[in-house]
Amino acid sequence: MPVSAMCTLQRPSGEPIPVLGQGTWHLAEGLHPRAVEIAALRLGIDLGMTLIDTAKMYTDSAAEELVGEALAGRGDEVFLVSKVLPQNATRRGTIAACESSLRAWRPSCHST
């Protein structure tokens, strides 16, 4: 599907977010070569799937780190989604979980 044909929702800022994204649940488990998984994420971005859903709970941050590697130099093209484990569902725990995800995604992926 061409990028122009991708269905999107609009953020309050006016920025579009695709309704179809990429999940990372079984990435970085060693099922496929790392380079293949990174190439798949990058291809998805090229095709307009710029919403990427990941979480620290997926392979103990390895999936988030793989996403960070795949996004090197492209962090401004994506909208990243993560989750907070129930045991971290306090104000302090949520902030720490977000900071951990940001470190895994690397500085080029931070957005305001």
Domain locations in the chain as residue ranges = 3-109
Q: Assign domain 3-109 to a CATH class.
A: alpha beta
pTM of structure = 0.84
Per residue in 14-66, pLDDT tens? 999 999 999 999 999 999 999 999 999 999 999 999 999 999 888 888 999 99
Q: State residue 112's pLDDT score.
A: 44
Q: Confidence band (pLDDT; 50, 70, 90) for 108? A: low
Residue 18 DSSP class: E
Q: State residue 60's pLDDT score.
A: 86
The torsion of the CA quartet 100, 102, 106, 111, rounded to 10 degrees, works out to -170
| Cα–Cα distance for residue pair 76/94, rounded to 1 Å | 23
